[in-house]
């Protein structure tokens, strides 16, 4: 809680940001900022000074404002902040030319190339594979307990490492065209990137470098032996005059992997945690699914994205000219971070914003952004989130949290919001998917 002013002339100091306590529950601090300092200048743990935008209306404006560039070259970057405004290791690995770091017209060109992989038709065609991966991971959890569909007992699992993490990794690898025999390497590299967020940067940079080396080789192999996958599609588009450079192809594959797995890890993890700690809402959803009604699942996933979404802050933006957001003047070169988690709990936009209501329909949340940088993979993430949560509730209907919520730890980091672990327990007398 913020310190209270000692007199009428004093201004409240505000809450302490980016501590471990803040990471556990940032929403009270964001409520204070929305009320008292909605566009707030702060020094981040990295030493970078940035503006935090916390109100919904201001956030929506900022996300679509083309005076806020995604290109780090527009950052008025002091020496101590050099290289600290993007994904660790991407500069040294020459992976900067991706959708999160560029503006039109290059952004328009590259997004058009990749968008073909995320059409509703392509995502629908991918649904059986997502269901297959989901069931296989639950089977593996049951196998670990020695459950072959027979004897009853209590089983335990960590839903992050055994389920929420591998599912989107294998899914995005399939979409990109990474051979099955190489996908465990990607799982290891991605795991290193998640584990080290907010901590030592060396491990992340090494993983990024290994990933880039592999992607360059894979792009070369796909050029010789193309398939029906996203990397092959990028190569074909480049060969037909779209002018996709080798660096752009590698950077594009990298960011699709990076952005395409961690957001879904957190959607599944945060979503399941919210359901486990809101038993009435969880029971409503289970009942609807048992009756064959998927409507509550669809609105429910949107509500979980709003209530405690996977992306806490939108990725970096930099002012290319002086502008005003929420009455606050922003200087040229200043970094701006839109706090999606704060905007999506704004009582000016959402009725009872701190209440989880899976049937909420007036729900234009900003969980996947807004404007030209709206998340390209949102349809796939929604499919994976809906499939994962519905299958867990159907196949492990008595799933329970196996830890005190106060003992759970959230990963340190600036952009993403996700649990380190999610220990659960369940009855092991469940049938395997093939039974």
Q: Give domain status of residue 64, yes or no.
A: yes
Q: How many domains does the chain have?
A: 1
**H/E element, 242:** none
Q: Give domain status of residue 316, yes or no.
A: yes
pLDDT at site 235:
79
Q: Give domain status of residue 317, yes or no.
A: yes
Q: Give domain status of residue 5, yes or no.
A: no
Which SS3 state, helix, strand or coil, does residue 213 take?
helix
Write the pLDDT tens digit of every residue in 369-407: 999 888 888 889 999 999 999 999 999 999 999 999 999
Q: Give domain status of residue 249, yes or no.
A: yes
pLDDT band at 242; cut points 50, 70, 90: low
Where in the sequence is the domain holding 65, given as residue range(s)? 20-427
Segment among 27-41, 194-208, 299-313, 364-378 with least mean pLDDT: 194-208
Q: Give domain status of residue 35, yes or no.
A: yes
pTM over 0.75, yes/no:
yes
pLDDT at site 7:
38
pLDDT at site 147:
45
Q: Give domain status of residue 152, yes or no.
A: yes
Residue 5 above 60 pLDDT? Answer: no
Residue 329 above 60 pLDDT? Answer: yes
pLDDT at site 296:
98
Write the pLDDT tens digit of every residue in 152-206: 578 999 999 999 999 999 998 898 899 999 988 888 887 776 654 444 445 667 7
Return the higher-pLDDT residue of 149 and 163. Answer: 163
pLDDT band at 239; cut points 50, 70, 90: low
Return the higher-pLDDT residue of 236 and 332. Answer: 332
pLDDT at site 260:
73
Write the pLDDT tens digit of every residue in 419-432: 999 999 998 765 65
Segment among 68-72, 174-178, 193-197, 242-246 with least mean pLDDT: 193-197
pLDDT at site 241:
59
Taking all residues of the chain, what is their mean pLDDT, rounded to a whole number? Answer: 85
The CATH number of whichever domain residue 179 belongs to comes to 1.10.630.10
Instruction: Name, in order, each residue with C-beta under 8 angstroms of 24's C-beta and a sequence gap of 6 or more.
Output: 408, 409, 410
pLDDT band at 148; cut points 50, 70, 90: very low
Residue 349 above 70 pLDDT? Answer: yes
Q: Give domain status of residue 434, yes or no.
A: no
How far is it, in rounded angstroms, from Cα 400 to Cα 424? Answer: 5
How far is it, in rounded angstroms, from Cα 247 to Cα 88? Answer: 17
Long-range contacts of 274-278 (CB under 8 A, 24+ apart): 274/304, 274/307, 274/308, 274/356, 275/304, 275/389, 275/393, 276/399, 276/400, 276/401, 276/424, 277/401, 277/405, 278/356
Residue 362 above 80 pLDDT? Answer: yes
């Amino acid at each position: 809680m913020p310190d209270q002013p000692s007199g009428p002339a004093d201004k409240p100091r505000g809450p302490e940001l980016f501590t471990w306590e803040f990471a556990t529950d940032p929403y009270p601090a964001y409520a204070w900022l929305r009320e008292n300092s909605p566009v707030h200048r702060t020094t981040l743990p990295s030493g970078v000074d940035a503006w935090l935008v916390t109100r919904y209306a201001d956030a929506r404006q900022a996300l679509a404002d083309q005076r806020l560039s995604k290109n780090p070259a527009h950052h008025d970057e002091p020496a101590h902040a050099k290289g600290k405004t993007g994904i660790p290791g991407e500069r040294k690995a020459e992976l900067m030319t991706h959708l999160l770091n560029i503006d039109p017209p290059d952004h328009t060109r590259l997004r058009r190339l990749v968008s073909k992989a995320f059409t509703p038709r392509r995502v629908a065609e991918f649904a059986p594979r997502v269901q297959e991966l989901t069931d296989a991971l639950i089977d593996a959890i049951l196998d670990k307990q020695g459950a072959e569909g027979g004897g009853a007992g209590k089983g335990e699992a960590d839903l992050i490492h055994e389920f929420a993490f591998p599912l989107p990794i294998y899914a995005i690898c399939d979409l990109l065209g990474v051979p099955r025999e190489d996908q465990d390497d990607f799982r290891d590299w991605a795991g290193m990137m998640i584990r080290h967020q907010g901590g030592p940067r060396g491990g992340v940079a090494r993983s990024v470098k290994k990933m880039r080396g592999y992607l360059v080789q894979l792009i070369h192999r796909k050029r010789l032996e193309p398939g029906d996958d996203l990397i092959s599609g990028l190569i074909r588009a480049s060969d037909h005059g779209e002018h996709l450079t080798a660096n752009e192809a590698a950077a594009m594959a990298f960011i699709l992997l990076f952005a395409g797995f961690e957001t879904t890890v957190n959607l599944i993890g945060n979503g399941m945690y919210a359901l486990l700690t809101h038993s009435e809402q969880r029971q409503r959803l289970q009942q609807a699914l048992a009756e064959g009604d998927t409507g509550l699942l669809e609105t429910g996933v949107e509500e979980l994205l709003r209530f405690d979404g996977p992306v806490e802050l939108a990725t970096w933006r930099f002012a290319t000219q002086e502008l005003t957001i929420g009455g606050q003047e922003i200087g040229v070169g200043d970094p701006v971070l839109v706090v999606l988690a704060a905007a999506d709990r704004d009582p000016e936009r959402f009725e009872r914003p701190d209440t989880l209501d899976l049937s909420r329909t007036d729900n234009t949340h900003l969980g996947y952004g807004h404007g030209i940088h709206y998340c390209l993979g949102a349809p796939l993430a929604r499919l994976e989130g809906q499939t994962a949560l519905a299958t867990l509730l159907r196949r492990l209907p008595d799933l329970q949290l196996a830890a005190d919520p106060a003992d759970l730890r959230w990963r340190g980091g600036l952009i993403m919001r996700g649990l380190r672990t999610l220990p659960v327990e369940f009855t092991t007398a469940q049938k395997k998917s093939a039974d």
